[in-house]
Structures are given as C-alpha cells and as structure tokens.
Copies of this chain bind each other. A is one copy, B any other.
Amino acid sequence: MEKQTITIYDVAREANVSMATVSRVVNGNPNVKPATRKKVLEVIDRLDYRPNAVARGLASKKTTTVGVIIPDVTNMFFSSLARGIDDVATMYKYNIILANSDENSQKEVQVLNTLLAKQVDGLIYMGHDISDSIRQEFSRSKTPIVLAGSVDPDEQVGSVNIDYVAAVEAATTRLIDSGNQKVALVTGPLAQPINGQYRLQGYKQALAKAGLAYDESLVFESEASYHAGLAMFKQLQKAGATAALVGDDELAFGVLDGALDEGISVPADFELITSNNTKLTEMARPQMTSIDQPLYDIGAVAMRLLTKMMNKEDIDAKTIRLGFDITTRKSTK
C-alpha cells in the first residue's frame, strides 16, 4: 500500500520529459521522436499508468460519453435499438450512459439534465412520445441529439426511423387483400404521434384505397404488454374483427395467445401482423408475420449519425429513413 493514484506527472518525471510530451504520446500526437515515445511508453507500462478520463474531460471538454434515454431496457424493442447503439458507440470509442425513463416526461427531463450535467458529448433519445417539456429541453440544448426509432414532427433534432405510414399501409393492405373486411388496428396511445398520426394514417390510407369505410370501433389503444394483448382479444372479437395489425410484438403475442386460448385458429379464422419483428415473432406458435423494422440498424445508424454531429461533420440529412419489409410467417394466410 505505497502509492495512490499515479498521474501523468509521475510518468513525466520518471521518463525525464514534460507532462506535455507524455500527453502527446498517450494521445498519439505524431510530434514525438520515436525514441522518446518508446521511453515514455515503457514508463507508462512499468508504472501501470492509466489516464484519468475525468481530468481529460475537463481539460478537453470532451467526455467521449453519450447519454441514452430509454423507456425500458426490458422491452425487447428498445433493447435491440440499444444494442445497435452500443456497438457502434464502442466502435467509435464512446461509452453509453443508459437511463430508463419509463416514458414519463418528468423523469425524462430530470434524466436529461443530469446527463447534460455530466457533459455527455451527445444524446440519443428513444421513446415514442416526445413531450413538450422534453422537446423544449432539446431545443435549448447545444448538445447534439438524435431520436432512435421515433419521429420528430418538427425535425429539430436528428432522427432515424422507418416510414411508419407506408409500413402500416402495406401491412393493412395485405390483411385486406386476403379477404378481411374488418381489420383492427391495435397500438399504443393515439396521443403519441407514431400511433395517432403515422400508424393511423397508414391504416386509413389502406382502408381508403380498398374502398372500405373507416370504423373507429376497430381501433384499439393499449399499453404494450403481453397481458394487455391477452385481454384485448375478446374486445377484438366483440368488434367483429377478423384480422389485426398490432403495434408491438409483446402485445401481439398476447393477442395471439388470447385467440388461441379462445379456441380461435390462427391464421384460418384470425390473421395477425405485428410490427417490430423481434425474436418474439419466431417464438410464437404460429410464428407471427411482421413488419420488419431493422431495429439493430436503427440504433446503429442513429449512433453513427450522432458521431457525425459530434464531430461537426456535414450531415446530408438530419432525418434518416431506413427501409422496411414485411416478413411473412404463419399468422397470415
């Protein structure tokens, strides 16, 4: 128990150079003679010196850390995004401060502020609902921000997503084309733009193109949980729906099991398309047909976009729209 922390100053002294030189070799600055560099590296190794990132952050005003606000890590949709984010973050030598928000705007604002206090170089925000309070915080912050997997109606900040309108329209059309007159739409709160604006719009467009009337009683709001889906099926049945487009995989899994538990055969008597194409879609029996959002990629691209913003590189477009697909499995005819 001899020494405490060993600092750049210690290695400078041991190596008979100045701290500036040590700093240079640590940071790979080329202005160091190979012999000197070697000497310094040896001392670093011998002393087991590890640069203090906090001090470095203070001096350089860069923390190589980005904040990630996530509704709930436990939700496969978001954790898939998070995985993409983390992978490209480490690729670019950034670390991730992860904070769960429960999509509660008060918590979000608070979290955002502690993240900014910690001087993160950038922020990634996940969550469908961009409350006014958080939007306000966004706009007065100088820190680069990008939204992953959700849409920013006024394009203040960067965002990466898919064309939800088109995706839902395509999926709904598929359901209509296979003979369903009454296709239900089951999503999260319509107050959230992704549901109330985009998904609903896509749904209506599909209906309109097929010459079907829009029937409000076929639109269901629900939290995104398995149990909610289980309970939901009876309502769908009551409303006379013979097919449903569901906005979340867990929820869809619930609806599916709800149907099965009622003795309804899927897809023969009830067809279902879900939206996120997580692993869950393959675990269900029958496996679920799904809109295929490239979740991992959305996260990865969002982080990549953020790195560009942090580097002050030119961005062609703040909003990146990735392609989607519909993966056909066994829950549709």
Chain A: residues with CB nearer than 8 A to chain B? 50-55, 57-58, 63, 65, 68, 72-74, 76, 79-80, 82-83, 86-87, 90, 95-100, 111, 113-119, 226, 250, 253-254, 257, 260, 279-280, 282-285
Looking at chain A's contact residues, the main secondary structure is: helix
Given contacts A226-B279, A285-B260, contact A52 B87 (CB under 8 A): no
* Chain B residues with CB below 8 A from A90, complex form: 99-100, 111
Contact check, A253 vs B100: say whether CB atoms are below 8 A apart: no
Instruction: Report Cα–Cα, A254/B280, bound state, in Å.
Output: 11
Instruction: Report Cα–Cα, A258/B249, bound state, in Å.
Output: 21
Contact check, A250 vs B226: say whether CB atoms are below 8 A apart: no
Q: How many copies of the polypeptide does the oligomer hold? A: 2
CB distance from A160 to the nearest CB of B (A): 18
Contact check, B74 vs A74: say whether CB atoms are below 8 A apart: no
Contact check, B58 vs A54: say whether CB atoms are below 8 A apart: yes
* Chain B residues with CB below 8 A from A113, complex form: 50
CB distance from A94 to the nearest CB of B (A): 10
Instruction: Report Cα–Cα, A115/B98, bound state, in Å.
Output: 14
Q: Contact check: which of B55, B79, B115 meets A73 at CB < 8 Å?
A: B79
Contact check, A283 vs B253: say whether CB atoms are below 8 A apart: yes
* Chain B residues with CB below 8 A from A76, complex form: 74, 76
A86 and chain B: residue at smallest CB distance: B100
CB distance from A104 to the nearest CB of B (A): 12
**11 pairs, A vs B, C-beta closer than 8 Å:** A52-B117, A54-B57, A54-B58, A54-B118, A54-B119, A72-B83, A74-B83, A95-B114, A95-B118, A226-B282, A285-B285
Top 5 closest pairs, chain A to chain B, by CB: A98-B98, A53-B118, A54-B57, A53-B117, A73-B79
Contact check, A283 vs B280: say whether CB atoms are below 8 A apart: yes
Contact check, A82 vs B73: say whether CB atoms are below 8 A apart: yes
Contact check, A73 vs B97: say whether CB atoms are below 8 A apart: no
CB distance from A96 to the nearest CB of B (A): 5
A98 and chain B: residue at smallest CB distance: B98
* Chain B residues with CB below 8 A from A83, complex form: 72-74, 100
Instruction: Report Cα–Cα, A260/B283, bound state, in Å.
Output: 12
A115 and chain B: residue at smallest CB distance: B95
* Chain B residues with CB below 8 A from A100, complex form: 83, 86-87, 90
Contact check, A86 vs B98: say whether CB atoms are below 8 A apart: yes
* Chain B residues with CB below 8 A from A96, complex form: 97-99
CB distance from A91 to the nearest CB of B (A): 12
* Chain B residues with CB below 8 A from A280, complex form: 283
Instruction: Report Cα–Cα, A90/B95, bound state, in Å.
Output: 18
Instruction: Report Cα–Cα, A79/B57, bound state, in Å.
Output: 29
CB distance from A320 to the nearest CB of B (A): 22
